[in-house]
Structure 1
Amino acid sequence: MQSTRLNQLVGVTNNRLGQWLQNPWRRISVIAMSLLFGTFLGLAIASVSGQESRWDIVVSTLVVLITEVISWLSYRRQSQTRRPLWLEILNSLKIGVVYSLYLLAFILGS
């Protein structure tokens, strides 16, 4: 690939972001924000699919399928190796979505 200014800019930005996220506190804060966004996303999915009742089965199937794929990607590695940041963010997003769906089910069930 040619070394254009755009390629150089993307490469430098990617390197700086990677160095910035090496700090453990920043890494934890990004993962915590992903967990909170997953909670919001789960509530949004439930409210949007609840408005259109014909989408309930399709959306629930997609949520279960995506959750299982993320779990398979996240937990298939050995526990001694450190997971990449994007995988930890994706896993915490999944945990937030599942948590919010369980919480909403308990609220509606009572």
Structure 2
Amino acid sequence: MQNTRLNNLLDTAARSLSQWFVNPWRRFSLLLISFLFGFFLGSAVSTTAGQKAELDIFAAAFLVLLTEITSRLFYSRSFFAKQALWVEALNYLKVGFIYSLFLEAFKLGS
């Protein structure tokens, strides 16, 4: 890439943000927020998809595809070499999403 002012600004902002998340409490809070947001998304998706009852199978297939892509990204060998924070936050979002869908299924089953 060319060394432009915008590129330098974005690199500096990304570097300072990554330095800010080196603190373990900030990292933990970001991962916890990601988990809880995934839990909220799972609850919201299950209630809104069930309202119309159209294209439920396609929506479920799309969500399964997204969770499988996230798992492939997180559990690949290249991840353990670099430990990217955004990939870890995405995995926690996925875990919260799946956990919420399981709880919704248990509520509907009882």
Show the counterpart of 2:4: 3
Q: Judge conservation of contact 2:71–2:91 (CA < 8 Å) in 1.
A: yes
| Residue 107, structure 1, aligned to residue 107, structure 2 | yes
Large movers: runs of 4+ above 3 Å: 78-82
CA-to-partner distance for each residue in 1:22-68, whole Å, 9 max, x for gaps? Answer: 11111111011000000000011111111121121111001111111
Q: Distance in 2 between matches of 1:80 and 1:90?
A: 15
Q: Judge conservation of contact 2:49–2:56 (CA < 8 Å) in 1.
A: yes
Q: Distance in 2 between matches of 1:48 and 1:8?
A: 42
1:76 to partner: Cα distance? 1.9
| Residue 39, structure 1, aligned to residue 70, structure 2 | no
1:12 to partner: Cα distance? 2.1
1:80 to partner: Cα distance? 6.0
RMSD: 1.8
Q: Judge conservation of contact 2:38–2:95 (CA < 8 Å) in 1.
A: yes
Show the counterpart of 2:58: 58
Q: Distance in 1 between matches of 2:73 and 2:79?
A: 13
Give unpaired runs (5+ residues) of structure 1: none
The TM-score, its normalising length taken from structure 2, stands at 0.89
Letter in structure 1 aligned against 2:4: S
Letter in structure 2 aligned against 1:3: T
1:102 to partner: Cα distance? 0.2
Show the counterpart of 2:24: 24
- After superposition, the Cα gap between the structure-2 partners of 1:32 and 1:47, relative to the gap in structure 1 and judged at 3 Å, is same
Show the counterpart of 1:15: 15
Show the counterpart of 1:94: 94
Give unpaired runs (5+ residues) of structure 2: none
CA-to-partner distance for each residue in 1:88-109, whole Å, 9 max, x for gaps? Answer: 0010000000000000000111
Q: Judge conservation of contact 2:73–2:79 (CA < 8 Å) in 1.
A: no
